[in-house]
Amino acid sequence: MKHPRLKIKKGKEKSLLRFHPWIFSGAVESLPETGDDRIVEIVDYQEKLIGYGFIEYKSQIVCRIFEFSQYPTTVDESYWTQKIHQAYTFKKQLIQDGTNCFRLVHAEGDFLPGLIIDVYNETAVIQFRTTGTWYLKEIVRNALLSLGYQYIFSKSPAYSNWTQGWLGDAGPQHTTVMENGLKFSVDLIKGQKTGFFLDQRENRKLLSAYSKNKKVLNCFSYTGGFSIYALVGGATHVTSVDISKDAIENATKNAELNEFTARHEGIAADCFDFLRKKTEQYDLIILDPPAFCKDIRSVPQASRGYKDINLSAMRIIEKGGLIFTFSCSQHISRDLFQKIVFGAAADSGRKVRILHQLSQGPDHPINIYHPEGDYLKGLVLEVM
Ligand code: SAH
């Protein structure tokens, strides 16, 4: 099949030749009309083929490249099916026994821009983030069915008018998944993101190893992922705090599922207030807030938010205690995050050491040519 051509302006092809998958509107000579697949072939000013991508007319990133190739490539159903199957084979090698939920497709990190697929047992939850991927929904659904997933749920972004719902047979709203042998109840429909924060799997496991005999405070706990790992690691008591009542109910349910109710307490509250007012001390504190900054303009305000919670945590951590602190804002770089935490440490007047520098799990790979994919930053701090 022949796709319409998108021509890049002279001098604007450099980042593409280095495999960065985004084309900004200013780099394009003219945008071609496309059919329902929104797919174009991309050429440089001398008409040399660069690759294939999805057009998104209303976005600043007008095209996202899914295939870099100097030679014509057939992009048809078998192309997509093969790509999803390859992602599955690759991810399966990374996922250990005792885990049946993982990220099967991580957009640019899996060379499938605009597409996120998280799997939970027999159910796959998809986020279509671009028109081009939305138009592929039948093909994606068939590929997932052929991999053995029975139910497929589409969670589309709020700004789109694409259907949110089951693609085909309706599955149950809740499913209980296993992660490193622990049980978690996931609300596939009403839960945040696709239902569970799969990107923290490795970090939760690390936390477990530090939890023995510790009194733990899990801030922005969502459904208690870190809390359950702390409990299995031998924490004496864990408090989960989240602004969402539903999340806290789910955290309580997860404590029950793993038989840890006696040592767990869930509180629905704003963590900024909660932390500021606290005087009680903890041995281990987790700070995993939502992305405070959605664009580059909100970086200063977001930085103040991160500093605020980190400073509060440093005030109530026991001597020799640990803080697991995270930022999942794409626009807060690793370097900036460490500077913000440095600011909090300096204001607290306490001695602080970095024990670990953390990132997202390997099922959320970072395409080296797309550094924007390095979104989850974490530090494990020892506070003296
Ligand atoms: N650590 C969690 C994921 C946290 S996601 C895990 O491993 O599963 C961020 C959470 O912060 C969400 O559950 C959201 O409801 C909560 N949240 C957002 N703003 C908040 C606030 N001001 N106070 C407390 N919780 C908040």
pLDDT in tens, 177-194: 999 999 999 999 999 999
Q: For residues 310 and 373, state if they share a domain.
A: yes
For the chain, the first-to-last Cα distance in angstroms comes to 64
* Pocket lining for ligand 1, CB < 6 angstroms: 192, 197, 200, 220-223, 225-226, 242-244, 247, 270-272, 288-290
Residue nearest to atom 20 of ligand 1 (CA): 243
The answer to whether position 217 is within a domain reads: yes
- For residue 196, give the ligand 1 atom closest to its CA: 8
The answer to whether position 184 is within a domain reads: no
Q: Confidence band (pLDDT; 50, 70, 90) for 311?
A: very high
Closest CA to 230 of 252, 199, 209, 261: 209
Quote the percentage of the chain above a pLDDT of 70.
99
Q: For residues 203 and 63, state if they share a domain.
A: no
Tokens for 107? 């957009």
In whole numbers, what is the pLDDT of the chain averaged over residues? 96
Per the structure, the count of domains in the chain is 3
Query: Pick from 27, 44, 68: which residue ends a domain?
Result: 68
Q: Is the pLDDT of residue 70 over 80?
A: yes
- For residue 270, give the ligand 1 atom closest to its CA: 23
The answer to whether position 187 is within a domain reads: no
Q: Is the pLDDT of residue 158 over 70?
A: no
Residues linked to residue 116 through DSSP beta bridges, in sequence order = 106, 127
163 against 67, higher pLDDT = 67
Q: Which residue has the tokens 């749920």?
A: 153
Separation of alpha carbons 64 and 384, rounded Å:
47
Residue nearest to atom 21 of ligand 1 (CA): 270
Residue nearest to atom 10 of ligand 1 (CA): 220
Q: Which residues constitute the domain of residue 24? A: 5-68
- For residue 286, give the ligand 1 atom closest to its CA: 1
Q: For residues 37 and 169, state if they share a domain.
A: no
Q: Confidence band (pLDDT; 50, 70, 90) for 159?
A: low
Tokens for 285? 């504190």
Mutate to test the pocket of ligand 1, among 185, 226, 243 (most ligand atoms within 8 A of CB): 243
The answer to whether position 183 is within a domain reads: no
Q: For residues 42 and 149, state if they share a domain.
A: no
Query: Pick from 38, 68, 98: which residue ends a domain?
Result: 68
pLDDT of 294 reads: 85
The mean per-residue pLDDT over the stretch 114-135 comes to 96
Q: Confidence band (pLDDT; 50, 70, 90) for 163?
A: confident
The answer to whether position 20 is within a domain reads: yes
pLDDT of 14 reads: 86
Which amino acid is residue 160, in one-letter code? S
pLDDT of 278 reads: 94
Residue nearest to atom 15 of ligand 1 (CA): 244
Q: For residues 46 and 21, state if they share a domain.
A: yes
- For residue 326, give the ligand 1 atom closest to its CA: 1
Query: Pick from 47, 68, 89: which residue ends a domain?
Result: 68
The CATH code of the domain that includes 30 is 2.30.130.10
Separation of alpha carbons 237 and 227, rounded Å:
9
Taking the centre of ligand 1 as the mean of its atom positions, its distance from the CA of residue 99, in whole angstroms, is: 23
